[in-house]
């Protein structure tokens, strides 16, 4: 019998060099105007790329929209159902992006999904791969059995992350939604890693 316990999400995760390269810090952002400005500036600057794959950039028009997002991050964190972390580069303290873990729970469903975005200037360094590794480590070491990552089949950079980390491609969900950017349907890759597979890698 697998016992499912409620997780206590950490406010901060500092990956060590053993777990990744130890080049980043993950921190739950406080809902402040300063943090809202950071998210807002990042989304506006990267809007053209982000809106291909994510729905929120088209709904981000004012800094207040990012502030509302941070309020929902705080609520999800307090309920231990959603941990959305700012990623900072250790060397510079620069903001890089966001990596989040989301509890998915329904009848016969109990798993966590990881999602992410990163500003263009910080791409290509392996930071997001390291962030995802840190989140999955927390989840598996706290009793979670299944971690899932989903991405549009056209999103090669996103798919490369679960691929690089040894996730299994469970399959492709067909026409899961309409992508205005492509003026076409989205097909969604579903990647998973199980606790037993994470252990085998240790
Ligand atoms: C998805 C996204 C986060 C991927 O960013 P990324 O920079 O490719 O991912 P990482 O930070 O893990 O970096 C990996 C890259 O750095 C390179 N790299 C350099 N040093 C590295 C290191 N030490 N470790 C791992 N990779 C390293 C890798 O080779 C890879 O580059 P490549 O794809 O050209 O081979 C980014 O493209 C993005 O934010 N896109 C828009 C939003 C989005 O699509 N979100 C996901 C929705 S499902």
pLDDT at 201 (0 to 100): 54
**Residues 148, 164: Cα–Cα separation, whole Å:** 14
Q: Which two tokens stand for residue 56?
A: 């929120």
| 158-179: pLDDT as tens digits | 999 999 999 999 999 999 999 9
The answer to whether residue 196 is domain-embedded is: no
Give yes or no for residue 50 CB within 6 A of ligand 1.
yes
Domain CATH code at residue 17: 3.40.630.30
**How many domains does the chain fold into?**
1
111 Cα: distance to centroid of ligand 1 (angstroms): 24
118 Cα: distance to centroid of ligand 1 (angstroms): 8
Asked whether the predicted pLDDT for residue 86 surpasses 70, the reply is yes
Atom number, ligand 1, closest to the C-alpha of residue 161: 12
Asked whether the predicted pLDDT for residue 202 surpasses 70, the reply is no
The answer to whether residue 168 is domain-embedded is: no
Listed in order, strand segments (DSSP E) in 77-133 are 82-89, 95-106, 109-118
pLDDT at 21 (0 to 100): 75
pLDDT at 89 (0 to 100): 98
The preferred substitution site among 160, 162, 163, 190 for testing ligand 1, maximizing ligand atoms within 8 Å of CB, is 160
The answer to whether residue 202 is domain-embedded is: no
Which structural domain, as residue segments, surrounds residue 94?
A: 12-145
The answer to whether residue 181 is domain-embedded is: no
Q: pTM for the complete prediction? A: 0.96
7 Cα: distance to centroid of ligand 1 (angstroms): 28
Q: Which helix (H) or strand (E) holds 163?
A: helix 156-164
pLDDT at 20 (0 to 100): 66
């Amino acid at each position: 019998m697998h016992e499912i316990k409620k997780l206590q999400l950490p406010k901060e995760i500092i990956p060590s060099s053993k777990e990744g390269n130890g080049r980043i810090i993950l921190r739950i952002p406080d809902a402040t105007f300063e943090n809202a400005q950071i998210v807002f500036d990042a989304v506006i600057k990267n809007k053209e790329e982000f809106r291909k794959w994510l729905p929120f950039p088209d709904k981000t028009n004012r800094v207040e929209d990012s502030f509302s997002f941070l309020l929902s991050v705080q609520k999800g964190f307090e309920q231990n159902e959603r941990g959305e972390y700012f990623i900072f580069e250790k060397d510079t303290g620069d903001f890089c992006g966001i990596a989040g873990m989301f509890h998915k729970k329904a009848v016969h469903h109990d798993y966590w999904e990881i999602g992410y975005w990163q500003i263009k200037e910080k791409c290509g360094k392996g930071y997001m791969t390291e962030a995802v590794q840190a989140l999955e480590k927390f989840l598996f070491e706290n009793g979670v059995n299944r971690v899932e990552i989903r991405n549009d089949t056209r999103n090669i950079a996103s798919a490369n992350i679960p691929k690089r980390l040894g996730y299994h491609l469970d399959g492709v969900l067909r026409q899961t939604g309409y992508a205005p950017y492509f003026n076409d349907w989205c097909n969604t890759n579903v990647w998973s890693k199980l606790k037993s597979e994470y252990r085998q890698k240790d």
